[in-house]
Amino acid sequence: MEILSALFRSALFKSVLVKPVLDFALPARCPICGVTVEADNRFCLSCWNSLDFLTEPWCAACGKPFAFAQGNEARCLSCLQQPPDHDGVRAVVAYDENSSLLPIRLKYGGRLGFAELIAGQLGRFMSELGPESLIIPVPLHRWRLWSRGFNQSVLIGRALSKQSGIAMDTALLKRKNATPPLRSMSAKQRHNIVKNAFTLNGDAKIKIDGKTIILVDDVYTSGSTANACARILKTAGAGRVLVFCWARVLTDYSQS
C-alpha cells in the first residue's frame, strides 16, 4: 500500500498515467485554426505556410522588408524622411488576418501559453545581442493591468528572458497616463496620445546606461508607442533600443 501511495504521488505516475489522459482530453491544437497538432505551441502545416515570416533584407530602422538587398544600413523612404527614435524592429511575421489571432487570443482570450510560442520565434533574433542587454516590456497602465489581469508583453518578455538568459526588468519603465485604445487612429493621433505617456523610475539611469534595450511588445503598428518608449530610454542613456514583437503592420498609417 505504501508503495502504491508513493507511486501515486511520484512524478513518474503523473507522466505515465495522468499526462496521457490530459493529452487525450485536451489535445494540442494549432493556435490559428484549432486543428489537433503533435505538440503544444505548434502550428499545423497549412497555417505555418500561410504566415508571412519577415527576413532580411529589411529597413535597418523600422524592419519593413525590401524587395531586394540594399545594404545593411539601408533605410526605407519613410525612415529617411522621419527617422524613428528606436534602432530597429525585429518582427517575426507580417500582421494579417491569420497572424493577428495570436496576440488577440493572448490578450483577450487568456491563451497565456502563446507568449512562450512568440518568445520561441523571437529567439532567432537573439544572436545579434551581447551580454550588456536588458529586456524591458512595454508597460500597461495600472487600470488596464487591473482589468486584464496581466500584461502580454511581460509574459512574452519573461519567456524570452528564460530562453535566452538575458535579464528582464519590469519596474524601470512605467506608463503614467491611461491612454485609450489606439486602433483606427492615424499615426499623428497615436503620436500625440502616447508621446508623454511613459516615465522612468528613479534608479533607471544607473541600470540602463550604455545597455542595449530589448523593448518587447506584441504588435508594431505605427511605431508611436515604440518611439515614445525609446525616446525616454535613450534620454536615460540606453546605447540602443531594439523593438522585438510578434507581428509588424506593413501598411503605412495615415499621418493626418
What's the confidence (pLDDT) of residue 182? 67
Domain that holds residue 65: 52-248
What's the confidence (pLDDT) of residue 13? 41
3-class secondary structure per residue, 106-145: HHHCCCCCHHHHHHHHHHHHHHHCCCCEEEEECCCCHHHH
Place of cell 496521457: 20
Distance CA 191, CA 38 (A): 43
On whether residue 17 sits in a domain, the answer given is no
Q: What is the pLDDT of residues 124-152, one digit of tens each?
A: 999 888 878 999 999 998 888 888 889 99
On whether residue 8 sits in a domain, the answer given is no
What's the confidence (pLDDT) of residue 41? 86
On whether residue 76 sits in a domain, the answer given is yes
Composition of the chain by helix, strand, coil, percent to 5 = 40, 15, 45
Q: What are phi and psi of 243, to 5 degrees?
A: -95, 120
Counted domains in the chain: 1
On whether residue 28 sits in a domain, the answer given is no
On whether residue 46 sits in a domain, the answer given is no
3-state secondary structure of 72: coil
Give the domain CATH number at 212. 3.40.50.2020
Q: What is the pLDDT of residues 224-253, one digit of tens each?
A: 999 999 999 999 999 999 999 999 999 875
Amino acid in the structure at residue 245? C
Q: What is the pTM (predicted TM-score) of this model? A: 0.85
Q: What percent of the chain has pLDDT over 70?
A: 85
On whether residue 107 sits in a domain, the answer given is yes
CA pseudo-torsion sign 242, 109, 114, 168: positive
Distance CA 91, CA 11 (A): 38
Q: What is the pLDDT of residues 147-170, one digit of tens each?
A: 888 999 999 999 999 999 999 999
What's the confidence (pLDDT) of residue 141? 85
Supply the mean pLDDT for the chain.
85
Q: Compute CA 76 distance to the chain's CA centroid, rounded to the nearest angstrom.
A: 23
Distance CA 209, CA 137 (A): 17
Distance CA 228, CA 143 (A): 20
Q: Compute CA 81 distance to the chain's CA centroid, rounded to the nearest angstrom.
A: 27
Enter the C-alpha cell of residue 132.
550588456
What's the residue count for the chain? 256
